[in-house]
Amino acid sequence: MPRTPVLTGQVIGQAHYATRAVLERELAAMGLTFFQSLALNAVAAEGGAVEHAPLVDRMTGALKVDESAVQATIDELSAAGLLRTLPSGGSGLALTDAGRARQRQVADGVAGIVARLYADIPAAELEVAGRVLTLLKQRADAELATA
């Protein structure tokens, strides 16, 4: 019987890349990239409209990428008609009707993936994993903040 591995960066990375590959396959069928799906979700989480700078900050902080990558994603979504600039003269962005529909499609796809991949994992184990991974993220973020 194979030994259960101890939690390491390698185990976390392998799980991340495997699950992300499943998601990216589904997103590709929708004509979206991973970053685009995250941007749509971030705008939807704010009620469908957000100021530009907080969206960029949220994505650069979560993805650990530079602003140019996030701006390219925003530009792609705008060109595709999924995001629009608010007419208020500020720097607001909002989901279009097509953007709302695509974000719902993404959310439904993610829900299906979660249902399949997490199906028989006991809730208590998911809670422990969630706590450990949250702690690791907090520690890494703190270390990055001091660099």
The predicted-structure confidence for 54-95, as pLDDT tens digits, reads as follows 999 999 999 999 999 999 999 999 999 999 999 876 789 999
- Which residue do the tokens 């809670």 mark? 127
- Nearest of 88, 13, 73 to residue 41 by alpha carbon: 73
Indicate if the pLDDT at residue 47 is higher than 70. yes
**Cross-strand bridge partners of residue 92:** 51
> How far, in Å, CA of 25 to CA of 31, rounded?
10
Are 95 and 49 contacting, i.e. CB atoms less than 8 angstroms apart? yes
Indicate if the pLDDT at residue 2 is higher than 90. no
Q: What is the pLDDT of residue 25?
A: 97
Indicate if the pLDDT at residue 137 is higher than 80. yes
What interhelical angle do 34-45 and 67-79 show, nearest 10? Answer: 80
pTM above 0.85, yes or no: yes
Between 76 and 5, whose confidence is greater? Answer: 76
Indicate if the pLDDT at residue 1 is higher than 70. no
User: Stretch 44-63: mean pLDDT, rounded?
Assistant: 94
Residue 19 CB neighbour total at 10 angstroms: 14
Report CA 75 to chain centroid distance, whole Å: 17
Query: Tens of pLDDT along 111-125?
Result: 999 999 999 999 999
- Which residue do the tokens 């979206």 mark? 32
